[in-house]
Structure 1
Amino acid sequence: MSSTDLPIPQFYAQTLQSLVPIFDDTLSTSDSSAQTLLASALDNLHLIARMLTSLGVFSDNETADELGDKELVFMSLGWVIAECESRGGLGGPERRKAALERSQHAMNGFLSLLASYKVLSPEEYAESSASADSGVIAKDPAKRREAKIRQYRREKELRQQISTMANDHPDSSSTPLIFILSLLPSTSASRPAVISTSTASTSVNPDSHPDIRETSLLLLRLLHTLALASLSSTAMELDILASAPASISELPPPPEDLRSVKRGDEDNTWRLDRTPGQYKPRELISGGGRVLRPFTILPSTSSLSDRARLQGEVFRSSHRLPTMTIDEYLEEERRRGNIITGGGQASYDAPTESELLELAAEEDGNAGAEEAEEKKRIKEENWARYTDDNRKGAGNTMNRG
């Protein structure tokens, strides 16, 4: 019997079983055999999706209560497809970007399906809606950290609950793929996988545990939590790919006078860099301060004579890096807010806190003056108490002989 002649639950389980070595990191995704396995699995997963669509398993006007207990597990199909896509596309930046975009589309479809069937709690639904609206990670580091901590705690709790209730009791550290397989018929020959022999059936084995519905709902909530983290990671990688420099094939051809050098007609077309002056500071340093590509800082053009500049161009390395002058670098740092201004004589002449309190206290008949006078009194009292308790020089333990 071929794979396509199997009932859908067993066909799905067989496909997921082939992906276990990749999802548990036993087989590296950089291996050519892993990429071949992913491509074959994706073909099967999309075929299963078309089968479910033709059978009308899911509908836009239904809720989770109207689905059968053994049909809920097939809602995980979109998440599996997205995860497979995110592990592929290793043939170059463009192929990787296309794979990530397909993964993002499949993951958003999975989240929409969960929201349509009202599987999520109100808090989870709000997080899913915010993620779908923004499409990127929150810029506030504090909010991003709180979201990660909240997702980690929920993921840990859901894993523990699923491992307690799931069939065959998989460990809480198991991959989500193992949890999905625990709700599907076994692919081993020693145990019957399904009752029905019809290829259009979506029923799984009848001897599954009685809490299959509750376990399936917990699993979908776990996959929802993992999907939000995956979308954030995908958005970050897409942002990096979007800001990456153009590949060699996309660079403009060098001018005719640079293709041939008098000294032995040396060919410069192999060089990976562009000619100096073609890079802008924002192409070399990102807004977060990350160096996008190596570059050389040159002396300020205002203090560099033509003779020194020409001499530097003669005695230079055989390779050529992008350049940035001191003036351009300082301007970029000032734009990013890394240069602190102030201080100096103006800061020295500024009144101290005690002087400000004394000036404010001199304004008689003012409520602010009374408050400032009280603060000044408390400060002086605290200082007097401190000097009474600590003898002058008591803390100096250096050079005591």
Structure 2
Amino acid sequence: MSIRKQLAPPRPLAVGDVISAHSRDLGEWTAAQIIRINADTQTAAVLELDWSGPEPSSVADLGDVAPLRLTHHSWNGGLSFCNHAWVLPRSYKVIGSMRLLHDHPANSWAYGWNLGDQLARQRRWDRGAGEDPAAAWKAEYTGETVNEFLSRPAAPRPEVAHLTIRDIDSLDCAQLVQRFPQLTRLHLHGRLGLLHAAGELNRLACLRRIHVVDLFGMTEQDRLRPQSVPEMESVDLHGIPADYAAAMRSTWRPEIPAGTYVSIRRARKPDWVQENRNNPLRDWDGREQISTTTYNRAVAQYKTTRKAVLQTLAEEPADGRSAPLEEIGRAYAEAFNQLDHQKGFIETVEREELFAALDHIVNEAEALHGPGLEDARNSLISGAESVRDW
């Protein structure tokens, strides 16, 4: 059975429409115009307008508006104009339409709708404030620091609306919700870590966006429920338990026409987590331009390289390691040269990850043999650099 191609955005949206939303950065409403809609990529090209003010009820309330041009930081007067996923967030509204203020395709892509962010930055720049000020309503932690913070008695922090936590090994969501009860955005990035009591996130009644990467421990009973988080606009989950992923898909896909963007990818079985905990290339599994065959070959080559490096460091004297390690580095790079020639998948991110994988091997060796293997690290990298064409 073929899948019918979606021809229009889930929420009604047309070229020429003017949309408006409240911006936390500005403390006011702001607006933008829809310039193009692409059904193939399911994106809308959005041109921000140089306007903010009270909530508008129609285009007439905007007055004589112009596109927003950016000169802050490294911008050189270009338009604030980029492609967004075509699911218009539920808190955004269409206030009418007007003649197009621009008629060219957008060449950049945005992650999430953040109407007002660029206008706020530009206005600060125009006032002579070069750097963005620290906002009391934004907070960012590592997993280690937030766990230390949550373990100490303290009053709740209702002023924090946007919270990002990175490098999570373990996190208690019940404690998190108690300390940060008014979150509207929550970004959690794990290291194949565990989320405990994830169902407690349903107590975040104001939550609009959730982004979870490489975290496990959640069950289908922990799924977020629309009646508990009715303002949800973005459910973005990558690298999560398969059962939880299925429950979240079935729960939130019906909410897309109401203005909830849903992206749930890389659902993982428990055995995958165990098999890949020490695999620095695990993020390639399921990446858009990397096939399963390519991923498996890449992991096999990484394992071959790892075995050769650890064996050399265990058996060769320190003054005799340089040449064999350089040769291992060359073999590693040549193997990925061949793989990339066949599949054409190594771009900037993948190149950095391939070198990070070599670092990972040396770090593992230092854990076994003690620190002081910088010469080994340099030899590996030198060998790879001498022949790589990615």
Coarse TM-score class (shorter-chain normalised): under 0.3
Report the TM-score when normalising by structure 2.
Answer: 0.21
Between structures 1 and 2, the one with greater strand share: 2
User: Considering only CA atoms, is the larger Rg found in Structure 1 or Structure 2?
Assistant: 1
Report the TM-score when normalising by structure 1.
Answer: 0.21
Between structures 1 and 2, the one with greater helix share: 1
Greater RCO between the two (CA within 8 Å, min separation 6)?
1
